[in-house]
Structure 1
Amino acid sequence: MWKRSEVEQLTGLSRHMIQDLCNQNTAGDGLAFWVPAVSKPGYARYDEGDLMAFYLVKQLSKAGFPLAEVEAAVMDMLEDDDSFAARIDGNVRRLQSERARIDARLQAAEVLRGAAAYDSSERLYAIMAAALLDGAQRSIENAARAGSLPPESVNRLNRAYQRAIPPLLEAVDWGTGSKVLTVSVPGAAVSEIRGRVQRFARALADLRRREVNPTDEEALRLVYSAAKSFWRLWGTGASAESASENDAMPVLVIRTAARFLAEADNGVPVELALGKGSFTFLAQATKAYAGIA
């Protein structure tokens, strides 16, 4: 027979966990999962069967099962059907979902940690730039998985967005002059880049002033024209790219932009750069052009 302290040492379960598992008062903290070989008020001893039961509890606990679900998992394990496999599969899906949330938090924390390397006046710009780049990369990956983006276009689009985001943020008045957002595009003057962004912002404002619907042909023409300008300025440059390939790229830009604009996290920088209402307008227009349901 083993003492409770020995069971704790052998199984890795805490005293509190063992107490809850053996407590028959389910109206309180008790789970009524197990009754030790010897159980008296203030005294318990455990035999081989108890050790095996608590060993199993530990394995289930390591796999992420809460103590409250242990009994149901054990009962499923004793069945000769697929119930145990189904329960484990459900637990795996839950853990994968939790991991995705943790990964997203770690990615956001990395953005903040990267911003800490800048001067205090530069950190918000660095956060915006890094967050938008992450959003662009996710949008490109999502478009590729959805089958609307050829694999060979992924790197080209990533490169284009990396070049485009800093000058987009420079259109935010309080970001002008930030070292984080320095514009550097071979063959294009800073004034030209800023001019294009400003003209696009004015065109959007005009459409909104005239209450043009984002799905109207005029709005869709502006979206395509902007995507074409985007690609000519930031996406071209490789000598191997043919004219037909470059003609096809603006449509792929719109498809990725639709997914980028579907993420609310990207709203504030876009809105500040292009004007009030621009984010929602562009989200609807690019979605309509790309035919995303």
Structure 2
Amino acid sequence: MMTININNSNKKKSNNYSQLRYISSAVSVVFMLVAIAFLSINGLNWGVDFTGGVITEVQMDPTITMSEISPLLQSALNQNVNVIEGGEMGRWILRYAEPTTGIGIPDITEVLAPLSTNIQVLNTSIVGSQVGQELAEQGGLAILVSMLCIMAYLSYRFEWRLASGALFALLHDVLFVLGVFAALQLEFNLTVFAAILAIIGYSLNDSIIIGDRIRELLILKPNLAIADVNNDAIGATLSRTMVTSGTTLMTVSALWLLGGEPLNGFSVAMFIGLIVGTWSSIAVSTTLPEFWGLNARHYQVVELKKGGYED
């Protein structure tokens, strides 16, 4: 009687996993469509790294803080200004879009005069829009090449149905983060682009771990239904996934709260990407192979007529 109860409990738990996976996958598809819509309508709010602008390096009293510098610059330039520590006490790097024609670049020493009279402008350089466009093109190419390399690796390591789930999960994560940035019109700069690449690697790691477990179960339990195989794989790796994601989120949260304005975009992208990446690795990457009809036969060794074997 106890055995029957345990089996019924396990079956009920497995059914709950399946329902959650199917619902989450459907929600993910809807979110992807919404993200594409925002990207098409709003577009990304490109930062100075991609659009071009002015980079000014200044030296001032080490006691002056970023919170004192930013309001004066934003008021004088009428735009958001990235204020980044220059590596030495009192040295700051200011990044802002080039003012409209006729206004010219303001005198930074006059703008910051209320803070200190001892301000030195070490250098000022203008990044043209052509350079920014090249960065955007190279960034897009980098993502494309990385996705193609990942596709080749997954196709080699897994059967194509299982590989397609992991690849779709990566595409889902990238589109989701880009969609949020387009919807909220958050600045998209090189640090956010670096976060996108980090999210791809993080999500891929989770998908591979779950995919490996699915492949093992298909070989060990060939008569088990694919839905149950997926659910067992999720159950076996869930605690590891939650611990890894939780500790990483704690680190990213600390970076978000304490990293300051220059790292806000990176932190926001990483925070969203970690949550969505964990979600997609569990739900999306396992449901799509099931939809394609993945089963144990795709990992069985078949004897060839000439005496060889193939998987």
Q: Fold-level match, TM-score > 0.5?
A: no
Give the number of the structure whose alpha-carbon radius of gyration is greater: 1
Q: Hey, which of these two has a bigger chunk of strand by percent?
A: 2
Query: Could you state the TM-score of these two structures normalised by the residue count of structure 1?
Result: 0.28
Higher-RCO chain (CA-CA 8 Å, sequence separation at least 6) = 2
TM-score (norm 2): 0.27
